[in-house]
């Protein structure tokens, strides 16, 4: 890290450089280091080529910024297709996306420090004058607190940081007297009423003129906010406090972070996507590193870097450990449930998570950063851009792309860490794609659909704030930038805050931080980043060797549906119905639902709800002979009309089911042969078919671990007859059973229905062929545009779901037909420990339906949050 010049001067100009706190210096080291030599591997890029690409970035920025200034300013954003400004209220509302627009010339403010990074000092000076002259922060408009903080407050502070740097240098900005900082302070005070909650979590929206409470404010009734919305304030607020000496901002942001930390799910150490700002209850309990949470994690680590406060690193490390344990499934990052972190919450990833490899570089965890980045790059190579959401088998899930910068950000940080010219080539591709597919005569237009190349009349301000900064810096040598970039930290909007703030105005009390953390086992925490000087020069092919196995991970994945549809067309069979194709008005589709025991209710607001009927089978139990049920039963008269008990093992579940069905059983209970196994300790799982068509199996089957199974076996030993109710609604069943006449002691029968309460039922009546089933995958959901007109049925991960056609992708990139996979799983399962075998993540159908609803909410939320 280089030494910056000392400082004095007016107001809050650059103070005398304090010695760096060790924490800030070590963490920041992760960003620098290996750019120097790259002896082998990808061909090094010549200085000329890098300069050429840098110039191309400059030209592209001019095209975007110039058109904004010419055709849109002072509006918040440029509409590049119609070549005019987007003024809120004058255009059809786009919903919550518009909450970023506060009639405060958003794009200009967001672009301020980019101008300096791109060496456009003169333009910066002009832009600052325009902001001071034209921007009004007191408009009667409801804005997102989160967006206003990261884009506007951050933009003003970034502008101020570089204005005082330039002034210090003595050539530009000599007239500057902290005016941007005064504006930032004014805006900071305008945002403070949002924190008027008992929890200290901010309301998601505020009226710039009227605040929250007044009737004119038209906001303040919200109960929920996203975790990132509440947890992405500390950098800007602390910087504001430290620049101005007004500690209140840092205090408020700290309080919100403290509350989120308190509310983390204590056993998984994960946080949900949305939280009730009054009660602190998690409203959405899914957890990932993308939409809704992303920058909360980013700010914990960066707050440690900027403020030198160990507690932030401890929190970050605790969360990071949980992320790597549950969410990271290299190269994928998959959302899970905070209470059930082994359970994936969906089968798709959103584009916002592309920032995460960059954060991992800052943390010093290079390997998974390289892996995820490589996976993302392959998705980009396939679709030219990162679609807003894509599935685990890399199909487009949500086809928009609003020119997001996260992938460029990670590319930059990976290049800084590895010095591998491969990342320069990646950057070159990004530039080419932007020019080829997004460039229009009046700027750059967001992609409406990456598959068709269609555009949206939208150029978000973050495109100028972040994309050009990271792309320019990627190709720039030290001498191409007029200041030392390593003296600054990037906010989530890529605004620059000087690291010297770590030792300035440290007057905010760090409430309880030390006592709170003494209980944490931090023995595994990394307090420093790996020294990449050592890491890479020793093995210059290190990064390449990590990428190599993933080279074709996307290409080799299965284009879900297409092959199946073609195959089934050839064979004359009907292609399976996909969730996205489901029509609530199509009788055939409804019939499929009916077969699943699911009916559809039309809600008043146009949405549809799926309700599953409890499936119940009631009967006396009888042991089958042979007890393993693997061959024709020798005691069909004993099991006829009864629920047959069978021992697990030796053959497929489906085979057992067929044998007892042929003997006339009305259901089956498979009891685990692993002595001592229990649903208390073993993860729930679902029995799968045998890889063949199981439509012939009409009886319900239940699996019980040994402990629960022994309740039935003991009961049989004690009583002559034991009656059992198989149901997927065990908990709801009690009153019904209570009303039934209890078996008399004369006939010695006993109800054992309670044993089913934690077991999994598989209703093979409803089970479609295994190729239409899935393990560990999750429901598809509707994109918001679909919700009004058509219902999209969850393609559940349960193998009993006929709606979704699926294959899964193995991590070595090979397509794995689920038939085979299930067969393999079933085969191995028969002899293996259920605690560690297939289907561990399976869920009961009602939980799937709940998840499906959550997915719909997730999309709605994604739309709202920060997309
Ligand atoms: C930016 O505004 C910020 O990076 C934010 O943290 C996430 N989303 C956008 C860009 O995609």
The reported pLDDT for the residue numbered 216 is: 94
The reported pLDDT for the residue numbered 580 is: 62
CB of 769 closer than 6 angstroms to any ligand 1 atom = no
The reported pLDDT for the residue numbered 619 is: 86
Q: How much distance in Å is there from the Cα of 730 to the middle of ligand 1? A: 45
The answer on pLDDT for 784 being more than 50 is no
Q: How much distance in Å is there from the Cα of 638 to the middle of ligand 1? A: 66
Name the band, by pLDDT with cuts 50, 70 and 90, for residue 177. Answer: very high
Look at 117-121, 358-362, 635-639 and tell me which has the smallest mean pLDDT: 635-639
The reported pLDDT for the residue numbered 521 is: 54
Name the band, by pLDDT with cuts 50, 70 and 90, for residue 677. Answer: confident
Q: pLDDT digit string (tens) for 562-571?
A: 333 344 444 4
The reported pLDDT for the residue numbered 388 is: 98
Is 337 in contact with 286 (CB distance < 8 Å)? yes
Angle between helices 47-67 and 422-433 (to 10 degrees): 30
Look at 54-58, 142-146, 323-327, 568-572 and tell me which has the smallest mean pLDDT: 568-572
Distance in Å from the first CA to the final CA of the chain? 35
CB of 144 closer than 6 angstroms to any ligand 1 atom = no
Q: pLDDT digit string (tens) for 542-559?
A: 888 899 888 888 876 644
The reported pLDDT for the residue numbered 268 is: 97
Query: What dihedral do alpha carbons 309, 162, 295, 182 form, nearest 10°?
Result: 80
Q: How much distance in Å is there from the Cα of 94 to the middle of ligand 1? A: 18
Q: Report d(CA 85, CA 499) in Å as an integer.
A: 36
Please, which residues bridge with residue 671 across strands?
A: 647, 704
Is 73 in contact with 443 (CB distance < 8 Å)? no
Tell which atom from ligand 1 comes closest to the C-alpha of 351. Answer: 11
The whole-angstrom distance between residue 685's C-alpha and the CA centroid of its chain comes to: 25
Q: pLDDT digit string (tens) for 790-819?
A: 222 233 333 333 323 222 223 233 333 333
The reported pLDDT for the residue numbered 431 is: 98
Is 294 noted as a catalytic residue in this protein? Answer: yes
Q: Report d(CA 188, CA 255) in Å as an integer.
A: 16
Is 863 noted as a catalytic residue in this protein? Answer: no
Q: Report d(CA 842, CA 683) in Å as an integer.
A: 9
Name the band, by pLDDT with cuts 50, 70 and 90, for residue 396. Answer: very high
Look at 218-227, 590-599, 706-715 and tell me which has the smallest mean pLDDT: 590-599
CB of 457 closer than 6 angstroms to any ligand 1 atom = no
Coil, helix or strand at residue 86? strand
The answer on pLDDT for 47 being more than 90 is yes
The reported pLDDT for the residue numbered 523 is: 55
CB of 865 closer than 6 angstroms to any ligand 1 atom = no
Name the band, by pLDDT with cuts 50, 70 and 90, for residue 664. Answer: very high
For residue 396, how many C-alpha atoms fall within 13 Å in the half-sphere facing its CB?
Answer: 18
Q: pLDDT digit string (tens) for 818-836?
A: 333 323 333 333 333 333 2
Q: pLDDT digit string (tens) for 261-292?
A: 999 999 999 999 999 999 999 999 999 999 99
Q: What angle do CA 852, 98, 298 make, to 5 degrees?
A: 65
Among 286, 388, 409, 865, the active-site one is 388
Percent of the chain with pLDDT over 70: 68
Among 98, 99, 113, 147, the active-site one is 147
Is 386 in contact with 379 (CB distance < 8 Å)? yes
Is 123 noted as a catalytic residue in this protein? Answer: no
CB of 492 closer than 6 angstroms to any ligand 1 atom = yes
Q: Report d(CA 844, CA 54) in Å as an integer.
A: 54
Residue of higher predicted confidence among 806 and 845: 845
Among 179, 406, 708, 763, the active-site one is 406
Instruction: Determine which helix (DSSP H) or strand (DSSP E) holds 618, and give its type and residue range.
Output: strand 616-623
Q: Report d(CA 797, CA 806) in Å as an integer.
A: 10
Residue of higher predicted confidence among 634 and 867: 634
The answer on pLDDT for 534 being more than 80 is no
Which distant-in-sequence residues (6+ apart) come within 8 Å of 867 by Cβ?
97, 291, 350, 352, 388, 402
The reported pLDDT for the residue numbered 578 is: 65
CB of 462 closer than 6 angstroms to any ligand 1 atom = yes
The reported pLDDT for the residue numbered 506 is: 74
How many Cβ atoms from other residues are within 10 Å of residue 36's Cβ?
A: 9
Nearest CA to ligand 1 atom 11: 404
Is the torsion defined by CA of 581, 583, 586, 587 positive or negative? Answer: positive
Is 775 in contact with 808 (CB distance < 8 Å)? yes
Is 644 in contact with 801 (CB distance < 8 Å)? no
Pocket test for ligand 1, best of 405, 410, 467, 864 (most atoms within 8 A of CB): 405
Q: How much distance in Å is there from the Cα of 493 to the middle of ligand 1? A: 6
Q: How much distance in Å is there from the Cα of 22 to the middle of ligand 1? A: 29
Query: What dihedral do alpha carbons 481, 486, 491, 496 form, nearest 10°?
Result: -50
The reported pLDDT for the residue numbered 83 is: 98
Look at 177-186, 604-613, 614-623 and tell me which has the smallest mean pLDDT: 604-613
What mean pLDDT comes out for the span 433-459?
98
For residue 194, how many C-alpha atoms fall within 13 Å in the half-sphere facing its CB?
Answer: 33
The answer on pLDDT for 364 being more than 80 is yes
CB of 798 closer than 6 angstroms to any ligand 1 atom = no
Q: Report d(CA 79, CA 101) in Å as an integer.
A: 13
Is the torsion defined by CA of 392, 395, 396, 401 positive or negative? Answer: positive
The reported pLDDT for the residue numbered 368 is: 96
What mean pLDDT comes out for the span 483-497?
98
Q: How far is CA 661 from CA 195, 618, 628, 641, 643, in A?
A: 63, 15, 14, 10, 10
CB of 400 closer than 6 angstroms to any ligand 1 atom = no
Nearest CA to ligand 1 atom 8: 866
Is 406 noted as a catalytic residue in this protein? Answer: yes
Q: How much distance in Å is there from the Cα of 406 to the middle of ligand 1? A: 7
CB of 404 closer than 6 angstroms to any ligand 1 atom = yes
The reported pLDDT for the residue numbered 657 is: 92
The reported pLDDT for the residue numbered 58 is: 98
The reported pLDDT for the residue numbered 806 is: 26
What mean pLDDT comes out for the span 733-737?
39
Percent of the chain with pLDDT over 90: 57
Residue of higher predicted confidence among 110 and 748: 110
The reported pLDDT for the residue numbered 835 is: 30
Of the spans 669-673, 681-685, 852-856, which averages the highest pLDDT?
669-673
The answer on pLDDT for 384 being more than 50 is yes
The reported pLDDT for the residue numbered 832 is: 34
What mean pLDDT comes out for the span 372-398?
96
Look at 119-128, 196-205, 315-324, 569-578 and tell me which has the smallest mean pLDDT: 569-578
179-197 burial code (b ≥16 CB/10 A, e <16):
bbbebbbebbebbbbbbeb
Look at 39-43, 243-247, 792-796 and tell me which has the smallest mean pLDDT: 792-796
The answer on pLDDT for 862 being more than 60 is no
Of the spans 170-184, 213-227, 692-706, 714-728, which averages the highest pLDDT?
170-184
Look at 461-470, 471-480, 595-604 and tell me which has the smallest mean pLDDT: 595-604
The reported pLDDT for the residue numbered 581 is: 66
Tell which atom from ligand 1 comes closest to the C-alpha of 866. Answer: 8
Please, which residues bridge with residue 721 across strands?
A: 749
CB of 63 closer than 6 angstroms to any ligand 1 atom = no
Is 489 in contact with 21 (CB distance < 8 Å)? no
Q: Supply the DSSP string of 381-418, one letter for each residue.
A: HHHSS--SEEETT--EEE--B----HHHHHHHHHHHHH
CB of 295 closer than 6 angstroms to any ligand 1 atom = yes
Q: pLDDT digit string (tens) for 472-482?
A: 999 999 999 99
The reported pLDDT for the residue numbered 206 is: 98
Name the band, by pLDDT with cuts 50, 70 and 90, for residue 769. Answer: very low
What mean pLDDT comes out for the span 215-219?
93
Query: Token pair of 412, please?
Result: 């930059």
pLDDT, averaged across the chain: 78
Q: How much distance in Å is there from the Cα of 95 to the middle of ligand 1? A: 17
Name the band, by pLDDT with cuts 50, 70 and 90, for residue 511. Answer: low
Look at 8-17, 168-177, 367-376 and tell me which has the smallest mean pLDDT: 8-17
CB of 356 closer than 6 angstroms to any ligand 1 atom = no
Tell which atom from ligand 1 comes closest to the C-alpha of 298. Answer: 6
Look at 404-413, 425-434, 577-586 and tell me which has the smallest mean pLDDT: 577-586
The reported pLDDT for the residue numbered 844 is: 58
The reported pLDDT for the residue numbered 457 is: 98
The reported pLDDT for the residue numbered 782 is: 23
The answer on pLDDT for 87 being more than 90 is yes
The answer on pLDDT for 754 being more than 80 is no
The reported pLDDT for the residue numbered 678 is: 78
The reported pLDDT for the residue numbered 711 is: 87
């Amino acid at each position: 890290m280089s030494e910056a010049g000392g400082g004095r001067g007016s107001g809050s100009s650059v103070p005398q450089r304090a010695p760096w706190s060790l924490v800030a210096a070590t963490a920041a080291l992760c960003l620098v280091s290996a750019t120097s030599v790259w002896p082998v591997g990808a061909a090094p890029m010549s200085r000329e080529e890098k300069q050429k690409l840098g110039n191309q970035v400059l030209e592209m920025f001019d095209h975007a910024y110039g058109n904004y200034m010419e055709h849109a300013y002072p509006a918040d954003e440029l509409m590049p297709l119609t070549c005019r400004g987007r003024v809120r209220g004058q255009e059809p509302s786009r919903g919550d996306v518009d909450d970023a627009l506060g009639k405060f010339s958003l794009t200009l403010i967001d672009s301020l420090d980019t101008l300096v990074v791109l060496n456009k000092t003169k333009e910066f000076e002009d832009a600052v004058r325009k902001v001071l002259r034209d921007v009004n922060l007191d408009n009667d408009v409801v804005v997102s607190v989160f967006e206003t903080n990261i884009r506007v407050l951050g933009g003003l502070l970034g502008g101020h940081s570089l204005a005082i740097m330039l002034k210090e240098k003595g050539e530009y900005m000599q007239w500057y007297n902290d005016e941007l900082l005064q504006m930032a302070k004014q805006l900071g005070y305008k945002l403070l009423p949002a924190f008027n909650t008992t929890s200290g979590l901010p309301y998601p929206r505020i009226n710039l003129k009227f605040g929250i409470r007044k009737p004119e404010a038209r906001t303040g009734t919200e109960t929920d906010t996203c975790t990132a919305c509440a947890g992405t304030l500390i950098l800007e607020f602390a910087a504001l406090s430290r620049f101005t000496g007004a500690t209140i901002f840092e205090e408020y942001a700290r309080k919100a972070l403290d509350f989120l930390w308190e509310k983390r799910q204590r056993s998984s150490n994960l946080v949900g996507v949305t939280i009730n700002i009054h009660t602190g209850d998690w409203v959405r309990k899914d957890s990932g590193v993308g939409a809704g949470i992303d920058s909360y994690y980013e700010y914990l680590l960066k707050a440690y870097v900027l403020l030198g406060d160990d507690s932030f690193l401890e929190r970050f490390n605790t969360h990071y450990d949980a992320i790597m344990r549950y969410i990271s499934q290299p190269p994928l990052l998959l959302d899970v449930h905070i209470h059930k972190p082994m359970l994936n919450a969906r089968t798709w990833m959103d584009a916002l998570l592309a920032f995460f490899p960059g954060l991992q570089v800052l943390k010093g965890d290079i390997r998974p950063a390289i892996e995820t980045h490589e996976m993302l790059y392959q998705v980009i190579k396939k679709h030219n851009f990162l679609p807003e959401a894509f599935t685990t088998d890399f199909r487009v899930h949500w086809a928009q792309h609003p020119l997001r910068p996260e992938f460029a950000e990670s590319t930059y940080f990976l290049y800084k860490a590895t010095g591998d010219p491969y990342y320069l080539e990646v950057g070159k591709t990004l530039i080419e794609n932007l020019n080829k597919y997004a460039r229009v005569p009046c700027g750059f237009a967001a992609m409406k659909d990456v598959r068709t190349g269609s555009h949206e009349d939208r150029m978000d301000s973050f495109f100028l704030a972040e994309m050009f900064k990271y792309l320019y810096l990627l190709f720039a040598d030290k001498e191409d930038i007029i200041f030392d970039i390593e003296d600054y930290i990037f906010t989530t909007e890529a605004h620059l805050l000087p690291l010297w703030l770590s030792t300035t105005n440290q007057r905010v009390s760090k409430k309880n931080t030390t006592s709170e953390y003494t209980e944490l086992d931090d023995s595994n925490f990394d307090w420093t980043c790996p020294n990449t000087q050592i890491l890479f020069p020793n093995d210059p092919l290190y990064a390449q060797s990590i990428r190599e196995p993933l080279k074709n991970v996307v290409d080799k994945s299965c284009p879900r549906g297409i092959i199946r549809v073609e195959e089934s067309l050839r064979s004359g069979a009907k292609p399976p119905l996909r969730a996205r194709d489901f029509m609530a008005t199509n009788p055939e589709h409804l019939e499929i639902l009916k077969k699943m025991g699911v009916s559809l209710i039309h809600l008043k607001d146009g949405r549809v709800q799926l309700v599953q009927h409890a499936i119940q089978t009631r009967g006396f139990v009888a042991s089958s002979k042979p007890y393993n049920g693997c061959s024709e039963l020798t005691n069909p008269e004993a099991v006829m009309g009864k629920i047959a008990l069978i021992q697990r093992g030796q053959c497929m579940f489906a085979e057992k089911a067929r044998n007892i069905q042929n003997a006339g059983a009305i259901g089956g209970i498979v009891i685990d042969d692993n002595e001592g196994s229990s649903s208390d300790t073993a993860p729930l799982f679902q029995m799968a078919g045998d890889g063949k068509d199981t439509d012939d199996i009409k009886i319900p089957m239940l699996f019980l671990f040994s402990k629960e199974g022994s309740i039935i076996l003991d009961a049989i030993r004690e009583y002559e007859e034991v009656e059992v109710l198989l149901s997927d609604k065990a908990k709801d069943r009690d009153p019904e059973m209570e009303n039934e006449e209890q078996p008399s002691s004369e006939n010695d029968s006993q109800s054992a229905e309670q044993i089913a309460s934690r077991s999994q039922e598989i209703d093979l009546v409803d089970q479609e062929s295994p190729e239409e089933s899935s393990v560990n995958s999750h429901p598809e959901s509707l994109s918001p545009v679909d919700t009004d007109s058509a219902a999209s049925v969850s393609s559940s991960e349960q193998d009993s779901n006929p709606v979704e056609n699926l294959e899964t992708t193995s991590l070595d990139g090979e397509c794995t037909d689920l038939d085979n996979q299930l067969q393999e799983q079933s085969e191995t399962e028969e002899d293996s420990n259920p605690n560690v075998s297939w289907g561990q993540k399976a869920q009961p159908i009602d939980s799937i339906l709940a998840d499906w609803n959550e997915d719909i909410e997730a999309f709605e939320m994604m739309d709202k949050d920060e997309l």
